A and B are shown apart, each in its own frame.
Chain A
């Protein structure tokens, strides 16, 4: 008896689970249908807002997607014997021939599929293949899709094609064939620029930069950046990426101030949630090194953020070594975490830090001693010879790291009195920099505001009405005045 109960229960559970799955599938299908409607509306009204909304649901749909749902949606959308339908179903591993029979009547009123919907389905299938890690199929499909996009010239497609290019490059990256698609991307970038297709332009530029970086071709990346303009209207995500890439190029070229600025922008533009953890980590890693190279010490709080804490541990050690100015600790850390840095592609940048460590060391010494022999400096900094120490100190003096003088004959370094920084123009220029930043921020936020279309018309109309009323009022007053005058006259 009880055994039967249990069996019944499990059967129930299975049925329940099946039912739930079916419900969930139905929900996804409904979502997809909703998206198709939105896409149609976007085409009808030329409003890119609706497409943005469709693409925003991509992440949630992606999680719930399966071959069943997709093939169902495809069957619903395409007419009976469409070529695309067969192809897409084949990519999903579904046999289209048999299914056609059951669903032929649902598609009667759908003679022509909108290219937007067509490409949206292509995109979904690509995402599905990516999640299934079926990269070679993905490459085949994305090649065909790209070919399709290039034959179409519709502004409502811009955002969709940007996404499709992204996944196209992603497939090639995962199969390590990125170099092959460079000409295609370059050509697409050119077309997108000519058509003022800002979304594709931004995405393609980033893809190209990523492509170059993958092979360490910083020279070509730099040339690409100098020859192109990144569209201002691109989405925040693409802008954040672009800023990160720019920061990278500038860091390689030793332009640390510019690099730091770009990286800061990237950090601010990137969404602050756990899904972008990878990007945030990458940006912070680079930003920390760049700050060190500029002679700054990054804030301690960066290393405490939950998303960043663990991956940044090696960098924390580097920062500590630089802060103390201890060359041997620095070398130890470098040896210990060398592989991590090499993987992060920050190794060569960190190698450059060596002389920053020495500089900090010298600065510490000059602050704590008013007079110290070159031999002691040499010992403290673990340098090879006294002669080296002398040259290094001389260079530090010239570069303005310390304010001191060397007595060659007696072999010591004598620090000069510290200048009071508040008697110089330094505070003023620091203040100026902050004011400029705030003003720019204000101006940018004004520019970034969105105004509803034709909203001023309404105001204009009411202003018109107001003026009309005023005129009437004035007229009345004037008439009253006259009346008053008359009355006065009467008195």
Chain B
């Protein structure tokens, strides 16, 4: 590792760990360091490398990068850093000391997948984690429980989990998640209730008695609000007439005829 990049690395570390890090400056450092890393083939190392010290520093830089992306709310960049870190976490796990930041970052990544509603990838990523960590590590437990609450519909618990985040970075994704949850609850309510009093609707949708926001939300979803009764009516779309699916039946019958023709 050249002396130049070592200085950069130290600067980045100092800046990022300071009380009020200048995120823009960190970004600049990161961009320069990434160029240096790719020159040394450490961005995506291959084969049997090299001295572990350099790998450790490279991993450290990438980890800072991942945290930095969350702070500046750049999700695609976060995704890239995680993909690069995966090489270090899995392929070089026998060479390197396990990183302190590994589980927090893995947890963050899980939360990101959850907030983007990429459930299949969420579960695939989950399989990579050792079962003991699933039950023990607070960083992993949090997104795992969130997913369970989401699946069974305990939205109340999801909302409350906001207060028990293991690291401040988690809040960023949880806030995104909240938007998803609210629309989930709304679509459930449409089906489950015929009408709802305004005040109750506000608590159900976590609007904390903010009527204006609720009214905006209601008009967005096309609910009819009756101001006199203070109630929201959900339009029930119960179409009673059943259409005969003639098109598909004809297609099926023709298909059978063709197949039978082949058999006989």
Q: Are B128 and A405 in contact (CB under 8 A)?
A: no
Minimum CB–CB distance from B36 to chain A (whole Å) comes to: 28
Q: Are A348 and B123 in contact (CB under 8 A)?
A: yes
Q: Within 8 Å of chain B (Cβ to Cβ): is A394?
A: yes
Q: Are B128 and A395 in contact (CB under 8 A)?
A: no
Chain B residue numbers with a CB within 8 Å of A358 are 152
| Interface secondary structure of A, over-half rule | helix
Q: Within 8 Å of chain A (Cβ to Cβ): is B102?
A: no
Give residues of chain B (174-196) contacting chain A, Cβ–Cβ below 8 Å: 184-185, 187-194, 196
Q: Within 8 Å of chain B (Cβ to Cβ): is A396?
A: yes
Complex: how many Å from CA A384 to CA B154? 10
Give residues of chain B (107-129) contacting chain A, Cβ–Cβ below 8 Å: 119-121, 123-128
A254 with B193: in contact, given A216-B127, A348-B126, A424-B242 (CB under 8 Å)?
no
Q: Are B151 and A392 in contact (CB under 8 A)?
A: no
Q: Are A397 and B192 in contact (CB under 8 A)?
A: yes
Q: Are A352 and B256 in contact (CB under 8 A)?
A: no
Q: Are A395 and B156 in contact (CB under 8 A)?
A: no
Q: Within 8 Å of chain B (Cβ to Cβ): is A475?
A: no
Q: Are A391 and B120 in contact (CB under 8 A)?
A: no
Q: Within 8 Å of chain A (Cβ to Cβ): is B157?
A: yes
Chain A residue numbers with a CB within 8 Å of B7 are none
Minimum CB–CB distance from A104 to chain B (whole Å) comes to: 46
Q: Within 8 Å of chain A (Cβ to Cβ): is B227?
A: no
Chain A residue numbers with a CB within 8 Å of B256 are 435, 439
Give residues of chain A (15-37) contacting chain B, Cβ–Cβ below 8 Å: none
Selected from A219, A394, A398, the residue in CB contact (under 8 A) with B124 is A219
Selected from B127, B148, B151, B188, the residue in CB contact (under 8 A) with A394 is B188
Chain B residue numbers with a CB within 8 Å of A216 are 127-128
Q: Are A342 and B131 in contact (CB under 8 A)?
A: yes
Chain A residue numbers with a CB within 8 Å of B185 are 391, 394
Chain A residue numbers with a CB within 8 Å of B156 are 385, 387-388, 391
Q: Are B245 and A425 in contact (CB under 8 A)?
A: yes
Complex: how many Å from CA A226 to CA B125? 18
Selected from A348, A392, A442, the residue in CB contact (under 8 A) with B153 is A392
A218 with B124: in contact, given A347-B131, A358-B152 (CB under 8 Å)?
yes
Q: Return the CB mask of A412-439 against B: 1 if under 8 Å, else 0.
A: 0000000000011100100010010001
Selected from B124, B127, B204, B263, the residue in CB contact (under 8 A) with A442 is B263
Minimum CB–CB distance from B102 to chain A (whole Å) comes to: 15
Best-surrounded residue of A398, A425, A435 (most CB of chain B within 10 A): A398
Selected from B90, B148, B157, the residue in CB contact (under 8 A) with A388 is B157
Q: Are B128 and A217 in contact (CB under 8 A)?
A: yes
Chain B residue numbers with a CB within 8 Å of A387 are 156
Output the nearest chain B residue to A255 by Cβ-Cβ distance.
B120
Complex: how many Å from CA A217 to CA B129? 10
Output the nearest chain A residue to B134 by Cβ-Cβ distance.
A348
Output the nearest chain A residue to B135 by Cβ-Cβ distance.
A338
Complex: how many Å from CA A432 to CA B154? 37
Chain B residue numbers with a CB within 8 Å of A393 are 153, 192
Interface size on A, residues (CB 8 A): 47
Output the nearest chain B residue to A436 by Cβ-Cβ distance.
B255
A348 with B191: in contact, given A385-B156, A388-B154, A424-B242 (CB under 8 Å)?
no
Complex: how many Å from CA A252 to CA B262? 39
Chain A residue numbers with a CB within 8 Å of B194 are 405
Complex: how many Å from CA A392 to CA B128? 30
Give residues of chain A (186-218) contacting chain B, Cβ–Cβ below 8 Å: 215-218
Interface size on B, residues (CB 8 A): 42
Q: Within 8 Å of chain A (Cβ to Cβ): is B197?
A: yes
Chain A residue numbers with a CB within 8 Å of B191 are 394, 397-398
Q: Within 8 Å of chain A (Cβ to Cβ): is B136?
A: no
Q: Are B127 and A252 in contact (CB under 8 A)?
A: yes
Q: Are A408 and B128 in contact (CB under 8 A)?
A: no
A222 with B124: in contact, given A391-B153, A391-B154 (CB under 8 Å)?
yes
Q: Within 8 Å of chain B (Cβ to Cβ): is A253?
A: yes
Q: Are A408 and B193 in contact (CB under 8 A)?
A: yes
Give residues of chain B (127-144) contacting chain A, Cβ–Cβ below 8 Å: 127-128, 131, 134
Minimum CB–CB distance from A248 to chain B (whole Å) comes to: 10
Q: Are B192 and A252 in contact (CB under 8 A)?
A: no
Selected from A355, A388, A397, A404, the residue in CB contact (under 8 A) with B151 is A355
Chain A residue numbers with a CB within 8 Å of B259 are 439, 442-443
Q: Are A408 and B196 in contact (CB under 8 A)?
A: yes
Give residues of chain A (341-359) contacting chain B, Cβ–Cβ below 8 Å: 342, 347-348, 351-352, 354-355, 358
Q: Return the CB mask of A240-253 against B: 1 if under 8 Å, else 0.
A: 00000000000011
Q: Within 8 Å of chain B (Cβ to Cβ): is A316?
A: no
Minimum CB–CB distance from B131 to chain A (whole Å) comes to: 5
Q: Are B148 and A355 in contact (CB under 8 A)?
A: yes
Chain A residue numbers with a CB within 8 Å of B123 are 252-254, 348, 352
Give residues of chain B (212-264) contacting chain A, Cβ–Cβ below 8 Å: 242, 245, 249, 252, 256, 259, 262-263
Output the nearest chain B residue to A352 by Cβ-Cβ distance.
B151
Q: Within 8 Å of chain A (Cβ to Cβ): is B200?
A: yes
Q: Within 8 Å of chain B (Cβ to Cβ): is A102?
A: no
Complex: how many Å from CA A443 to CA B123? 36
Q: Within 8 Å of chain A (Cβ to Cβ): is B155?
A: yes
Minimum CB–CB distance from B220 to chain A (whole Å) comes to: 18
Chain B residue numbers with a CB within 8 Å of A383 are 154
Chain B residue numbers with a CB within 8 Å of A342 are 131
Q: Are B124 and A252 in contact (CB under 8 A)?
A: yes
A398 with B187: in contact, given A252-B123, A255-B120 (CB under 8 Å)?
yes
The 5 closest A-B pairs by CB, nearest first: A395-B153, A355-B152, A253-B120, A394-B192, A394-B188
Can you list 16 A-B pairs with a CB-CB distance of less than 8 A?
A219-B121, A252-B120, A348-B126, A348-B131, A352-B123, A384-B154, A384-B157, A391-B153, A391-B156, A392-B154, A394-B185, A395-B153, A398-B187, A398-B188, A398-B191, A439-B259
Q: Given A253-B124, A391-B156, A409-B197, list of 6 further CB < 8 A pairs?
A: A355-B148, A383-B154, A398-B188, A404-B192, A406-B193, A408-B200
> What is A's interface to B at a CB cutoff of 8 Å?
215-219, 222, 252-255, 342, 347-348, 351-352, 354-355, 358, 383-385, 387-388, 390-398, 404-409, 423-425, 428, 432, 435, 439, 442-443
> What is B's interface to A at a CB cutoff of 8 Å?
90, 119-121, 123-128, 131, 134, 148, 151-157, 184-185, 187-194, 196-197, 200, 204, 242, 245, 249, 252, 256, 259, 262-263
